[in-house]
Structure 1
């Protein structure tokens, strides 16, 4: 049996652990009838049935999955939940995979070298050695009786002349036996060979292990799925991976896809690599089983690893594309989607489209028949599949049709937002022959934007384009980047000195970017591959700026042609890639960078130089620097509050000097470790921190990274592209100037610039804030969807209702003057002493934020237990001046201790009149005294009330505490609290259950003082 077996019906399989158990057989030959001298018919039939059973399994090559199911089985089979492959290749590691019985799978190669010792034992082992022992005993019994069985076939074939009268059943058996006699071998087939279920086991002993399968053909017409069962026992340091390796025509690996890692103790688990498309130039592929040491170099000396059921399934290749290669559309523009299928073997096929929004809700759908064209199979494809060019199979298959199918669909016009489009093949027969309905899918993503949203793409937010133009024409690239809010671009520019066409293309691209207002930075991170040897580096890890720019005589001639050309267009240049910290702790760094800058400038225009520097390293004093910008970063990225703190620490020096400008990297947190909501919130808040400080540029360094980028690997939008774009367009050209004090404590940040203002709001818990921002105000979510916020009428203050949650929202169209006025309002004091019946002064401070004089009135709306002699005051304020209005407040005997929300209403004499109401919290309570009252229902049925007083003032205080309960006699307790002490008193009420859910009042009168403290106590269990 070959090591790699093609299974015609891969959906017909036997689950792990299933066995076929044979009935115990006799140890002697069939007995003969003593009276008639003839073989007993029933005995012969039983022996013959056993022999046929053994022959069937051994003819199947020992692999149950090679059996052809009957058509009736297909008719009754359930619809599969996974697509059916058109071909499958696999290794089950059973006896058929070990033709030479050396306990090693045929044609598999073990890697031997440093770190991969030979003494690590690897061999084929049985899953169930007891079962194999039983089968072996049956084999031995069969061996003893096999000769007699073969001799009995001939008499059985003549049974029609022996039996009197003739018996139809035995006559039919005789006909079968005549045919069976032609292929019955001299030695009996082995049941243990046919039925033994083995796996590949590696016994760890302090070394790594790697083994690979023989190569098999790979074609870019198809996509492949690799699956393998893995088991680990007692791994502490080592990890296990299964890899699919693609090789070029010379047998050199060009791409490797790896499974998740296994370690510790893991029961048999199926790991898989889903739908992998071979890379360009891939001709063959193989499976590699890896056991690797830890990153720290530690290896396991005990433990075991098992591999089983290695399988590669080949599927038709389905791709879905849009008529906009970037997947970004402007709202109102039609969208055309195309589904293309290669390698399909049936014409009875439809494509089901589903378009879903970011929440997974279906927005539109369609089922359309696909148009199919055919072409001949390429000769190269057949040769790679092992078909000899001079064989009949080659001639036949070279003329067989290969289906190329496609269909187009235009969904309805979409509102701004993020969308996922799924295309599914719906076919009656994707597998060869009759098969249940099979489904194979692909998806792409779309981002629909409102081009009028927010300001122009100016500000600090940009991308590092490590892929260069990513295959887009310069005009298309510039338009796309501008549409998604990119204001800065780092572009790789290190090319060969003779590569004039590439230099021309880079210059054209940079010009296009600058035409749409994008700031450009040239990046000198790595020379062309054919020049690396000139720099005498120690391995690939040596490709860092400090090593590349070590010898001016090497790098200057290589870079002078491109620099002379591009310095006319690009002023700022970064030495090394992002996170290249190779200049850190280099001696004479100021002089080194200065010399590099002069060498790069050559005969071109003066340039500015930037280098990378980690956040956790102290930035050098200005006197020790010669570079113009420094790009800060860390791994993992700083959280929003950490970034804010680092930037705040860095700012004092920058305000008084002309030191290097601050850049930073702003990559999202990892997709595999955080929920989407957390990733969006973290990214938006860090972008907010950038606009709070003096940061010139903030770059997404890996925009194409599916894990920490803004796009998928193929360039289509990821879930974070629109949140990044919306935030960039909303606040990119604005500066954070503060925040509003809201009634519900919703977190917010106010951004202003020119005559435009944006308020960003978010909350850990869902809240509905009521606040007035002006007329014609909209709320925009991170997906770019705008909602009108109508003004709700209210006698105290007309307002808008704003629903806020964990993901920030943006309020656009807010009145900048109104926001500035709100933020300027403050009150003093924030706490009144509990001096009932005595005047205390409340001061209201505010500023005229306009450039014109302002006239208006202010009114304090106090609680009923507060008395204000003159609650309304008129005022006049010159441009930019601040005022203070004072109000005399008297607390009545019913004023209770606690915190009060006090509305302060301003009416501005503008055209039209503006009413602005702000809310400030003012507390009532004695200075330095903290009072807590707690209730508890006791097992006896009494209610215990505990009064706790803490004195933080410098003098002792005494109070007569009276506790009032409606309908009952009050109780009292005299309490003296020394400075710095806490005193507790307990009061008990009978029939306490009757008081649960009600209220009681604590009135504490100061002994020899004017304070009266009124507390409302909620009675709880």
Structure 2
């Protein structure tokens, strides 16, 4: 089972009223365990008709699940799981869905008496054979103190093979069992929504020519054939610069409706859905950061709205060498290697740090890294290979703690546990990657070693025993002394501090004596947008970069560039305000 999204997200005390439901939603499934458009217990056995339960050692048959009276339920009845030392999983009948729409779920849940167990509601999107391809889950509950409402943000289906959805109430036992406790479900409502996708003609929304910008709005599942689509160009301060409204010329879309009798199609109340696409070239007059806000206007008001960021930067004449780089030491890299290759020269980046320790289960990654480093070398961009967390298919990764340092891995473990896996990586990449860093940017675990020069020398001999000419680096805290009287067996130190340094502190440390033949690399760490305004963040970023440049840092790396809160780009790879 693959979980592409875990979206959730409001759980607030709520009455049965549904006035807050989406005005453009089309209901496709509803269950209050009494009526709606069907009787949910035709044979009066207290089991909700068409619902099913899974049976396994985790979810045994003796856990009682039934329809029960509840004066606070929407229609006076609900489905209740009686926890009896185990868990339970009960699912709705299969519901026909389509990738042409978004989907939203609302329900009410009540949990009481749970001390160790926990419960959640989940929507699984499946293929015709009920293989789960995508999921969305609510938050986890233990005690709700009465009924609470669960509301899922709209879910876009990302796999075209999805045809069916099921709604599941799941109760999982903890390390200790709960002999008593109840979980109840009520007022399940599942609906489709129009799907809006807004994108530019660039995978990362960064341009060097303002006339190249083209914004596309694609709509599917809308109820009106020709709604107005409103485009608005905003500056970095969200002030409106230009706008334009076009009328969409939609076409009727068809849905794949399953004919299987067990699948709920809800064709009786299904409205026609329309789809269409329109584009706009925003009249951008100068370089800078912009947003394009796109909304759908109908007789019922503004029903859909999305915003995308756009950055227009001047063409840069790059030199063959520079100090500035990006550190992509985490697993989250939203852009492909092809897209990074196009983006990095536009933003004057000469260095990029990448995690390169891959396992046997992903042999294609080695070839991708080789091609990527070759193409970057042709553009005078150096790759720094990060040796950090071992691949998940390596036995070593199952034994170590999540917070294990690089010293824990390479010095505390026997070489036989990690060297064979790294050999393939190093043999394949070391002819093209000339710079290697042990650990992530804040991992300074080697700096405390008593015989550090000998330790790193031994590791260098083991890792690069075939005579590769490489530069090896380790993490080093700014507030620790690096001995000047000993010959280092490493070539650079990635300096870091927690909390991050300001510009004055960076300048002070860089002006201190430097170890002979050891380069000093610094981190530039932007302030968190949740706690600082844009002007403060911008000023701090510029001052950090200037302090590094003026005071002779050998390498200057932006930490976590793809981060919504602290990065210069967003989690999705689009430009941020910085």
TM-score bracket, normalised by the shorter chain, equals 0.7 to 0.9
2:304 match = 440
Q: 1:659 to 1:332 in 2, by over 3 A?
A: closer
1:115-137 Cα deviation digits (max 9, x unpaired) = x99999876554527xx9xxxxx
Q: Tell me, yes or no, if the aligned pair for 2:122 and 2:137 is still in contact at 8 Å.
A: yes
Q: Tell me, yes or no, if the aligned pair for 1:414 and 1:448 is still in contact at 8 Å.
A: no
Q: How far off its partner does 1:464 sit?
A: 1.0
Which of the residues 271, 274, 283 maps onto 2:153? 274
Q: 1:574 to 1:112 in 2, by over 3 A?
A: farther
1:593-623 Cα deviation digits (max 9, x unpaired) = 433323332435321223456789x678676
- CA radius of gyration, larger in: 1
Q: Tell me, yes or no, if the aligned pair for 2:229 and 2:295 is still in contact at 8 Å.
A: yes
Do residues 710 (structure 1) and 571 (structure 2) align? no
1:38-59 Cα deviation digits (max 9, x unpaired) = xxxxxxxxxxxxxxxxxxxxxx
Do residues 638 (structure 1) and 494 (structure 2) align? no
Give 1:751-830 correspondences, 5 Å limit.
none
1:424 match = 295
Which of the residues 106, 128, 132 maps onto 1:227? 106
1:904 match = none
Q: How far off its partner does 1:714 sit?
A: 3.0
1:506 match = 369
Q: 1:351 to 1:557 in 2, by over 3 A?
A: same
Q: How far off its partner does 1:591 sit?
A: 4.7
2:24 match = 84
1:197 match = 76
1:718-773 Cα deviation digits (max 9, x unpaired) = 33xxx2xxxxxxxxxxxxxxxxxxxxxxxxxxxxxxxxxxxxxxxxxxxxxxxxxx
Give aligned pairs, total: 553
Do residues 367 (structure 1) and 230 (structure 2) align? no
Which of the residues 313, 336, 339 maps onto 1:471? 336
Q: 1:265 to 1:581 in 2, by over 3 A?
A: farther
Do residues 462 (structure 1) and 402 (structure 2) align? no
Q: Tell me, yes or no, if the aligned pair for 2:226 and 2:249 is still in contact at 8 Å.
A: no
Q: Tell me, yes or no, if the aligned pair for 1:560 and 1:602 is still in contact at 8 Å.
A: no
Q: Please state whether the residue corresponding to 1:491 is helix, strand or coil.
A: strand
Q: 1:108 to 1:644 in 2, by over 3 A?
A: farther
How far, CA to CA, are the matches of 1:646 and 1:581 in structure 2? 18
Q: 1:659 to 1:454 in 2, by over 3 A?
A: closer
How far, CA to CA, are the matches of 1:630 and 1:101 in structure 2? 73
Q: How far off its partner does 1:457 sit?
A: 9.1
How far, CA to CA, are the matches of 1:586 and 1:218 in structure 2? 59
Give 1:95-134 correspondences, 5 Å limit.
96-98=39-41, 105=48, 107=51, 109=53, 126-128=69-71
Q: Which runs of 5+ in 1 are unaligned?
A: 1-14, 19-64, 66-77, 133-194, 429-435, 724-1021
Give 1:567-606 correspondences, 5 Å limit.
567-577=430-440, 591-603=454-466, 605-606=468-469
How far, CA to CA, are the matches of 2:422 and 2:468 in structure 1? 14
How far, CA to CA, are the matches of 1:651 and 1:289 in structure 2? 61
Which of the residues 474, 479, 482 maps onto 2:345? 482
1:325 match = 203
Q: Tell me, yes or no, if the aligned pair for 2:323 and 2:556 is still in contact at 8 Å.
A: no
Q: How far off its partner does 1:100 sit?
A: 6.1
Q: 1:498 to 1:237 in 2, by over 3 A?
A: closer
2:214 match = 336
How far, CA to CA, are the matches of 1:552 and 1:226 in structure 2? 51
How far, CA to CA, are the matches of 1:375 and 1:690 in structure 2? 57
Give 1:366-385 correspondences, 5 Å limit.
366-372=244-250, 381-383=256-258
How far, CA to CA, are the matches of 1:307 and 1:97 in structure 2? 14
Q: 1:559 to 1:92 in 2, by over 3 A?
A: same
- Structure with more relative contact order (C-alpha pairs < 8 Å, separation 6 or more): 2
- Structure having the higher helix fraction is 1
Q: Tell me, yes or no, if the aligned pair for 1:457 and 1:482 is still in contact at 8 Å.
A: no
How far, CA to CA, are the matches of 1:437 and 1:500 in structure 2? 52
How far, CA to CA, are the matches of 1:276 and 1:552 in structure 2? 46
Q: Tell me, yes or no, if the aligned pair for 2:207 and 2:313 is still in contact at 8 Å.
A: yes
1:209-254 Cα deviation digits (max 9, x unpaired) = 6645335455433222233345677999998754444456775655
Q: TM-score, normalised by structure 1?
A: 0.44
- Once the two structures are overlaid, the 10-residue window that deviates more, 408-417 or 275-284, is 275-284
Q: 1:101 to 1:236 in 2, by over 3 A?
A: same
1:381-429 Cα deviation digits (max 9, x unpaired) = 444x84799xxx9xx99xx99855211211212433332323333457x
Do residues 491 (structure 1) and 354 (structure 2) align? yes
How far, CA to CA, are the matches of 2:83 and 2:444 in structure 1? 39
Q: Tell me, yes or no, if the aligned pair for 2:232 and 2:292 is still in contact at 8 Å.
A: yes
How far, CA to CA, are the matches of 1:647 and 1:302 in structure 2? 62
1:94-148 Cα deviation digits (max 9, x unpaired) = 474455656665525478767x99999876554527xx9xxxxxxxxxxxxxxxx
Q: 1:104 to 1:501 in 2, by over 3 A?
A: closer
Q: Tell me, yes or no, if the aligned pair for 2:524 and 2:545 is still in contact at 8 Å.
A: no
Q: Please state whether the residue corresponding to 1:480 is helix, strand or coil.
A: helix
What RMSD over aligned residues (CA atoms) do the two structures have, in Å? 5.4
Q: Which runs of 5+ in 2 are unaligned?
A: 1-13
Q: 1:291 to 1:626 in 2, by over 3 A?
A: farther
2:7 match = none
Q: How far off its partner does 1:631 sit?
A: 4.0
Give 1:167-182 correspondences, 5 Å limit.
none
Q: Tell me, yes or no, if the aligned pair for 2:294 and 2:305 is still in contact at 8 Å.
A: yes
Q: TM-score, normalised by structure 2?
A: 0.72
1:624-655 Cα deviation digits (max 9, x unpaired) = 97444444567xx62545x8659857975x53
1:920-946 Cα deviation digits (max 9, x unpaired) = xxxxxxxxxxxxxxxxxxxxxxxxxxx
How far, CA to CA, are the matches of 1:418 and 1:599 in structure 2? 48
